[in-house]
Structure 1
Amino acid sequence: MMLTWACRCLPGFSLIALALLLLLAFSDVLNAPRWKGVFVPPSYSPAKDGAWSSLSRAQQCFVVYAILVHLHMFGFTLRLSWSLFRVFKKTKHAFERRITETPPVSPASSRSSWSSRQDYSEKHPSESIIEKPSVMVEEIAEQQEVIHAIILPNYGEDLNTLETTLNVLASHPRAQSQYEIYLAMEQKEESAPEKAAKLTAAFEKSFLHVRSTFHPSGVQGEIAGKSSNVAFAARRIVEIHRADLKAEACNVIATVMDADTHLCRDYFTEIRRMHYAHLSEAERSIYCCPIIFDRNSHESPILVRCADLLWGFAGLSTMYPGSWLAIPTSVYSLPLSLAEKVGGWDSGPTAIGEDMHMLLKCYFETAGNVVSRVVYAPASQCNVSSDRARGWRWTLDTCLARYRQALRHMWGALDSGFAARRSISYLRFDHRCLFLRPRHFLLLHMLWEAHFLPCHLVILMVFSTAYTVSASATSLHPMVAWAFSVTNILRTMGFLWMNLCLVLYERWHALCLEARMQDMREARLADTGCSQRVWYKPTYLLERICFPVAGTLFGAVPMLHAVVSHFWTDRLVYRVSKKPTFSSLVDGVLPV
């Protein structure tokens, strides 16, 4: 129990350690005399052995760590620019690969898969299951295809949001023959049964199956929210396909997505292509894709828009070509056999960041042998919005909603504790081969970058600025002054390089938006939302200077809020962020 708590609080302990380092390294500030309220630190003179040796151990650690943090910050922008540069070409190729591929497989396994679903239908007549005509059965029996079990978790989501998402999925050519839809709902939501019935009636002819699951409330050790809904739905999917799983003939890939996510057909065809192209690794592959906010960002407050840009960049920065591990954000897929092998999805408080948590679980349960594959067909997302009338109250409410969403995202820092416990367990049982592998150090580095770096960077920036303002140039130790100078240069270079990343993002955004809107025109869907980016407009030019503010307000601050809260609780009340509705396209977007 104590180990679990200590691991859970690792990011918080790191903040305490950083505060102690600053206190020890610059204790002279506390003892320095004041002149008109300004600290006057004592003057330093280099020692005979050099400036470095005249530093205390704490000051030496500060210099090294401050430069290390800023190097990682700048390294993030370099890695992101490489990802953005390559993702444009990769995405373009994915859109151009709209060719039906027929893998050579035996008809027997397909009949087995179909019969298992029929058996389940007979045992559970109360569930909404589409009965397909015999022609469809024969078509599937002729050649086995990947079946996509799509989990759509929702808790308090607007019916219009769910309808639009399902309309987009239903427009895919393979929806009727290969998509199983699972509406993963929460039992304590009073309107859930009514919503499930309406959606099932509306879409039962559009998909292979449409089913609803209701996560029961009050289960000990579980929380209401996306992770528990997904876990409950996944157990039902495993039960349905139990016969095929036992026979090792299951060809089902589970996909988890947000209620407002719009996936293009290329997402599933790319998974299918990679599945058959890497059959030897298919059973331990997890697929993830970049996310793009291209539906209502033109009308979102600039800080909210910048925060979502940075959130998308965080996941995209791990998806560069050759990356060993890519962190999924909101949308990901994995074989049902792999999900069953690792024990399914967790539903406790620690799993609130269920996308990263499932990747970590697959990583440790496969002894680090999970294969991460990037699907270069981005998932379209909405920026949060408010249901108030336009004005300053709408802007404030939208920003507050985005902060609550950011706090839920940053609550996922609990995953660092989960990874620490699992790493310790491997050391305990003498599995050093995993702990010493380069990809394990990469995993730990990504967790440090996600859950430690944001707060540490902001604290160091604020401290260095305050210290240099309080102290005169002559009173600064030369090595400390040099460290401040280097970190200032790295921050400036990072700022400029991030502007380059925004330039690269513009063309990728235009490519993705054009492809999605073309699909919507062909499907005659006019209520999906569309947001063009015109780089020379003032609102988009302001992004070039506002992203550091947004990163602090919706990144470092909620992270600090989360990791401090973890000292006494790991539970967070799941609150759904309001999503906009699109009754018609507005001015400034592409016509349908």
Structure 2
Amino acid sequence: MLGWLTRCLPGFSLIGLALLLLCAFTDILQSPLAKKFLPQPPISSPGQEGPWSGLVWPQRIFIIYTLWLHVHTLAFTLRLVWSILTAIRSTREVLQRRLETSPISSPQSPQPVDQLYSDQPISPVSLSSPSISPYDKKNFVSTHELTEKELVHAIILPNYSEDLHTLETTLRVLASHPRAKSQYEIYLAMEQKEATATDKAALLMSTFENSFLDIHPTFHAAGIEGEIAGKSSNVACAARRIMEIHRTELKLDCCNVIVTVMDADTHLSRDYFTEILRLHYAHLDEADRSIYCCPILFDRNSHEVPILVRCADLMWGFAGLSTMYPRTWISIPTSVYSLPLSMAEKVGGWDSDPTAIGEDMHMLLKCYFETAGNIVSRVVHSPASQCNVSSDSSRGWRRTVDTCFARYRQALRHMWGALDTGFAARRSLGYLRFHQRCSFLHPRHFALLLLLWEAHFLPAHLTIVMIFSVMYKIWTPTTHMHPTLIWAFTITEILRAISFLSMNGCLFLYDRWHKICLDSRMEDMHEANISDTGCARRVWYKPQFLADRICFPIAGTIFGAIPTLHAVIAHFWTDRLVYRVSKKPTFSLDAVGLA
């Protein structure tokens, strides 16, 4: 019963919001039964009328709540501005470190690390170099400090019915990294029920067996009780295989393996892994409880998809990026993240039940609660290159419609992750049950709960309140509205306008960051002679990108609020969703510079 109640918390919140609007703006509270059992607002004495005088309690609550929703939305956009500015600066620093920093071999390293940032060793740059910022000096790890052996990166590539070309391209990008042969273990996390899984795995292994330290296929068996088919189950199965291979190191507590989970179409720069190495040794005392996440960037085919799909993916990327500002309490990973194998083993690995469909956030929450809130979020400012969903249809209106429907299915799967709110609620109650009040009252815990509210409650609540407020003002003459209610509607309209302008500022800054990241990726692809990865530049003055600045609220409603409503209402009777893989685009060999 507790599981169902907590699972349906977002749905119950919608019922509560509906009851609030009903009680606040109908005559239901004036019935004799309501007057008998419900508290009534105090009657003001003549000459003592205040701004709340004449308002029933639900109206007062509505005013406070609608102001809170709009203030929080504005705070989100301002936080996002800060995050993008940080991303621009930090991404440049990452690229600068690649050019200026080259470690020398450590006597204790079984594998030379002279290719940490480049293929050929160059003279290391002194910390006194004027081109390195104070921030960089503070977080710089000199090569003389790298006295431990290199990290091994166990990379999980979950896939089900993915196009072979998509997987080959992703592996070619990883194989182009200088340390792929010595540090990368690839795990092809497949579904056993896929008819071509075995043949596909065999082909990929034969093609890339000499490109990596090792490559293994894993096959998640169908029909296991309590498990669902999807990314979470595939990752869980692959993680168990990784633990088996590294069991000896785990027992001896000398495991230097970092597990990275990514999507089948994700392209990661070599900087992603070298930054993890840098952060690992810069914070060695916290390395065993650190989880690494990076922003995601849709820079491959966004110029080809419908504007609403492009805007929806922008908002999805912004949601994760907004938690990656300096000194944040906790960052939420989106699609791509890494963590030590030792921590994954201690928390019991990845879950594969229906509540873990959003396995990135779910694994973060599991690590958080299993460590009593002591995990550390570290941002890797080397963004993951992603594709927008595509369609098999030919060009034209049919392709547009099919792509929008595919994006809605993907959005529903994302919003199905609202089940994590119930998971977090149950684990939070466990803090109180076992008298761990210090953990429950820690600011980091409140920050986490606020992010969950922002992800699983805010989109639907804000949309409902906005639509209701607009319709109520249209239907109700101003002379029939309470002055405080008029004031609240006016303030929220101003807050919405400021939020709209702030989001336009975010899009302006995003275009600058997008160009930096895309130029770097395309240069890497040119050096690696990989020419079919796709390239979608954002040219701000072109009409299709100017339209992004107007259409993002519509996309946020269609692919954010509505799928949230769909998911949380469905959770009243089921927690299972059929996992459907989104179609990925195929790029031609000369598709390297499209605008």
Q: Give the TM-score, by structure 1 length.
A: 0.90
Other-structure match for 1:268: 273
Alignment of 1:547 onto 2:546: no
Other-structure match for 1:474: 479
Distance 1:428 1:515 in 2: 51
Equivalent pair of 2:428/2:440 in contact (CA under 8 Å): yes
Q: 1:107 to 1:499 in 2, by over 3 A?
A: closer
Return the offset for 1:505. Answer: 0.3
Equivalent pair of 2:531/2:591 in contact (CA under 8 Å): no
Listed as ranges, the matches of 1:163-242 within 5 Å are 163-242=168-247
- Secondary structure, in 3 states, of the residue corresponding to 1:484? helix
Distance 1:46 1:235 in 2: 71
Equivalent pair of 2:70/2:495 in contact (CA under 8 Å): yes
Equivalent pair of 2:111/2:150 in contact (CA under 8 Å): no
Other-structure match for 1:57: 57
1:579 to 578, 581, 584: 584
Return the offset for 1:324. Answer: 1.4
Equivalent pair of 1:105/1:143 in contact (CA under 8 Å): no
Listed as ranges, the matches of 1:25-424 within 5 Å are 25-28=24-27, 48-98=48-98, 99-101=101-103, 106=108, 144-424=149-429
Other-structure match for 1:138: none
Other-structure match for 2:16: 17
Q: 1:215 to 1:479 in 2, by over 3 A?
A: same
Counterpart amino acid of residue 69 in structure 1: L
Other-structure match for 1:120: none
Q: 1:468 to 1:530 in 2, by over 3 A?
A: same
Q: 1:434 to 1:103 in 2, by over 3 A?
A: farther
CA shift digits 1:521-575 (9 cap, x unpaired): 0000000000111100000000010000000000000000000000000000000
Listed as ranges, the matches of 1:424-573 within 5 Å are 424-573=429-578
Aligned positions, number: 546
Return the offset for 1:587. Answer: 8.3
Q: 1:372 to 1:86 in 2, by over 3 A?
A: same
Equivalent pair of 1:105/1:144 in contact (CA under 8 Å): no
Counterpart amino acid of residue 273 in structure 1: R
Q: 1:109 to 1:516 in 2, by over 3 A?
A: closer
Q: 1:439 to 1:155 in 2, by over 3 A?
A: same
Other-structure match for 2:117: none
Return the offset for 1:104. Answer: 5.1
Distance 1:314 1:273 in 2: 26
Structure 1 residue runs of 5 or longer lacking an equivalent are: 32-44, 111-141
Other-structure match for 1:119: none
Return the offset for 1:108. Answer: 8.1
Distance 1:173 1:100 in 2: 13
Distance 2:63 2:391 in 1: 44
Counterpart amino acid of residue 228 in structure 1: S
Equivalent pair of 2:23/2:29 in contact (CA under 8 Å): no
Q: 1:275 to 1:464 in 2, by over 3 A?
A: same
Distance 1:328 1:228 in 2: 18
CA shift digits 1:224-266 (9 cap, x unpaired): 0000000000000001000000000100000000000000000
Output the aligned Cα RMSD: 1.9
Distance 2:416 2:282 in 1: 37
Counterpart amino acid of residue 279 in structure 1: L
Return the offset for 1:100. Answer: 3.8
Return the offset for 1:85. Answer: 1.0
- Secondary structure, in 3 states, of the residue corresponding to 1:357? helix
CA shift digits 1:162-195 (9 cap, x unpaired): 0000000000000000000000000000010011
Distance 2:461 2:242 in 1: 42
- Secondary structure, in 3 states, of the residue corresponding to 1:263? coil
Return the offset for 1:28. Answer: 3.9
Distance 2:84 2:539 in 1: 18
- Secondary structure, in 3 states, of the residue corresponding to 2:236? helix
Distance 2:15 2:157 in 1: 40
Return the offset for 1:97. Answer: 1.2
Distance 2:107 2:374 in 1: 26
Equivalent pair of 2:189/2:218 in contact (CA under 8 Å): yes
Structure 2 residue runs of 5 or longer lacking an equivalent are: 31-43, 113-146
Q: 1:54 to 1:252 in 2, by over 3 A?
A: same
- Secondary structure, in 3 states, of the residue corresponding to 1:97? helix
Other-structure match for 2:41: none
Equivalent pair of 1:329/1:355 in contact (CA under 8 Å): yes
